[in-house]
């Protein structure tokens, strides 16, 4: 394993942005940058052994600030949505910025994804750290978040997310990377096959806030228990698909156990023979089919992305959990350590 570090640019407020390239024994590589602890590229072989970049992203580091898709970055302090930008913890109500319809999304407009994280090479890993001050975006407590990435010779990328705080708070971290296993500039992923280890999902209101109890996916377009093309049912007459202009929904991972890895998803490229398995300790996975990618910064290959050109598989806790006591808790208290893991394992079809 080799890790190369270089200065990639400077943020609008003068902070240095670093780009790290991790290359394994076979020549497959991952690039990471300090804007939002982002995954910038993943170059892995297809069935014929040809390397290609399988995630969307941008050639200019400044384009990673405030991009609509949150491409490849770690959003926070709370990934996904909190209804009306409000939650109550220990009897105190906290108010957060509204930046997605009537709701708070991904920590607000100045969330972790739009910050330059401290970074360093740590052995065979790259580690990013962000310190979120008490009251930042309305959240209580000083919080230290760490994103620790390792890239293995078997073409698996592992991310360990940890956080600690000095006051009771809420936290939900993930990585918002988007995949196109045929190559980042190859067009639609609606012909990719997706399989989810999830027999239940969370219906939402028209603003994508969960209504409450999960429902079975069986008999609905939300059913990915058996692998199917992403686009097979995406135009079905179904409320969730109309609301999101495609899939933008949370699925509960079957058999998820805190602290233990479970399979969340599998994805197959339509033409390349590439295969992705996603494992996580998180209880849920948000599937977002890039329904609003059009108009985001031009991609690394010089091509403007269109809607549905990539799919995000976001392992996380459930949306609006601070307001849903029946969901797995996202509370973090002094002395506790938030720790979750995500593994993206790349291979080729048998």
Instruction: Find all residues with CB under 8 Å of 304, minimum gap 6, and list them.
Output: 294, 298
Of the residues 136, 184, 314, 340, only one is catalytic, namely 314
Average pLDDT over residues 124-132: 98
Tokens found for residue 52: 């290609």
- Number of domains observed in the structure of the chain: 1
Q: Region 148-175: what's the mean pLDDT?
A: 98
pLDDT of residue 45: 98
Structure tokens at 180: 């196109």
Length of the chain, in residues: 350
CA distances from 81 to 100, 126, 176, 181, 305 (A): 8, 28, 14, 28, 24
Neighbour count for residue 102 (Cβ, 10 Å): 12
How far, CA to CA in Å, does 193 sit from each of 236, 271, 273, 317?
A: 17, 11, 11, 24
pLDDT score at 350: 75
- Establish how many alpha carbons lie within 13 A of residue 226's alpha carbon, considering only the half-sphere containing its beta carbon: 4
pLDDT of residue 67: 97
pTM: 0.98
Burial of 229 (0-12, 13-18, 19+ CB in 10 A): middle
% pLDDT > 70, the chain: 100
Q: How does residue 121 score in pLDDT terms, banded at 50, 70 and 90?
A: very high
Query: Mean per-residue pLDDT for 309-315?
Result: 98
Query: Tokens 């020549």 label which residue?
Result: 27
Query: Which residues make Cβ contacts (< 8 Å) with residue 277, sequence separation at least 6?
Result: 263, 265, 266, 344, 345, 347
The pLDDT assigned to 191 comes to 98
Please give the C-alpha separations between residue 71 and each of 24, 220, 259, in angstroms, as whole numbers.
Answer: 23, 29, 26
Q: Could you list the residue range(s) of the whole structural domain that residue 330 is in?
A: 2-348
CATH of residue 286? 2.70.98.10
Query: Which pLDDT value is given to residue 301?
Result: 87
Contacts of 18 (CB under 8 A, 6+ apart): 5, 6, 7, 8, 33, 34, 119
Mean pLDDT of 37-41: 98
Region 156-183: mean pLDDT is 98
Name the percent of the chain lying above pLDDT 90.
Answer: 99
User: From the candidates 176, 192, 275, 317, which is the catalytic residue?
Assistant: 176
pLDDT higher than 80, residue 196: yes
Burial of residue 152 (number of CB atoms within 10 Å: 0-12, 13-18, 19+): middle
Q: How far is the C-alpha of 74 from the C-alpha of 70, rounded, in Å?
A: 8
Look at the block and give the residue holding tokens 């105190």.
92
Helix (H) or strand (E) holding 215: strand 215-216
Preceding peptide of 77 cis, ω within 30°: yes
Residue 253 pLDDT: 98
Sheet of 262-268, strand order: 118-122, 125-132, 143-151, 156-165, 338-348, 274-280, 262-268, 193-196, 228-229
Evaluate if residue 272 carries a pLDDT over 90. Answer: yes
Instruction: Note if 314 is an active site residue.
Output: yes
- Mean pLDDT of the residues in the chain: 98
Report the pLDDT averaged over residues 315-329: 98
């Amino acid at each position: 394993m080799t890790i190369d570090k270089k200065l990639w640019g400077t943020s609008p407020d003068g902070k240095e942005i670093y780009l790290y390239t991790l290359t394994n024994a076979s020549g497959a590589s991952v690039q990471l940058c300090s804007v939002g602890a982002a995954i910038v590229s993943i170059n892995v072989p297809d069935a014929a052994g040809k390397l290609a970049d399988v995630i969307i992203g941008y050639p200019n580091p400044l384009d990673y600030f405030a991009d609509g898709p949150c491409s490849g970055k770690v959003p926070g302090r709370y990934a996904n949505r909190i209804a009306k930008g409000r939650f109550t913890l220990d009897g105190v109500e906290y108010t957060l910025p509204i930046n997605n319809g009537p709701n708070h999304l991904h920590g607000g407009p100045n969330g972790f994804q739009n910050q330059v994280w401290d970074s360093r090479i740590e052995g065979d890993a790259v580690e990013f750290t962000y310190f979120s001050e008490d009251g930042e975006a309305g959240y209580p407590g000083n919080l230290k978040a760490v994103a620790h990435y390792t890239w293995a010779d078997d073409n698996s990328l592992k991310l360990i997310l940890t956080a600690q705080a000095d006051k009771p708070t809420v936290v939900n971290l993930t990585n918002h990377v988007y995949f196109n296993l045929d190559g980042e500039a190859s067009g639609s992923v609606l012909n990719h096959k997706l399989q989810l280890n999830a027999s239940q999902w969370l219906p939402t209101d028209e603003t994508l806030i969960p209504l409450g109890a999960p429902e079975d996916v069986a008999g609905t377009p939300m059913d990915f228990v058996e692998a199917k093309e992403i686009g097979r049912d995406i135009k079905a007459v179904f409320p969730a698909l109309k609301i999101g202009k495609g899939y933008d929904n949370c699925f509960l991972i079957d058999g998820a156990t805190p602290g233990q890895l479970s399979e969340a998803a599998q994805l197959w490229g339509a033409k390349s023979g590439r295969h992705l398995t996603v494992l996580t300790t998180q209880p849920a996975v948000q599937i977002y089919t890039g329904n609003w990618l059009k108009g985001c910064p031009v991609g690394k290959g010089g091509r403007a992305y269109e809607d549905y050109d990539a799919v995000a598989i976001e392992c996380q806790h459930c949306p609006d959990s601070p307001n849903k006591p029946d969901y797995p808790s996202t509370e973090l208290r002094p002395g506790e350590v938030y720790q979750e893991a995500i593994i993206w394992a790349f291979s080729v079809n048998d």
